[in-house]
Amino acid sequence: MVISHRLADFWHDLETRPVRFVLLVPNSEVVKRRDAERGYKQVFETWGYLDAVMRDETPPVGLWLDTSTMTAEETVDAILRRLDEAVIEGYSDNT
């Protein structure tokens, strides 16, 4: 997962190449429900706090996509349609 300050590290490692950054940001209640419906290991109780970290500490660059009402197929279609919005150019820690 690349959120918060890790985005700067990631980008600096790849800054000689085109970088696209897509962050899926369904609302926290949807994430909690999806996790509870999963037929295998639930992780929301352990990792749910990352929603606030993602929203509060990740610079607003690239494509942030609210997938709260999307299926997996709709999410992929939206990303492919909006790839140009995901390009990060001239990223800095102060963005």
CB contact at 8 A, 44 and 31: yes
Average pLDDT over the chain, rounded to an integer: 85
User: Is 23 within a domain?
Assistant: yes
User: Is 79 within a domain?
Assistant: yes
Q: What is the pTM of this model?
A: 0.74
**What residue ranges in 38-77 does DSSP mark as E strands?**
63-65
User: Is 95 within a domain?
Assistant: no
Q: Quick count: other Cβ atoms within 10 Å of Cβ 88?
A: 19
Number of domains composing the chain? 1
Q: What is the largest CA-CA distance in the chain?
A: 42
- Fill in the DSSP letter of residue 5: T
Q: Domain range spanning residue 71?
A: 6-88
Res. 93 pLDDT band, cuts 50 70 90: low
Average pLDDT over residues 28-55: 88
Average pLDDT over residues 12-18: 73
Question: In the prediction, which pLDDT does 4 show?
Answer: 67
User: Is 56 within a domain?
Assistant: yes
Question: In the prediction, which pLDDT does 3 show?
Answer: 64
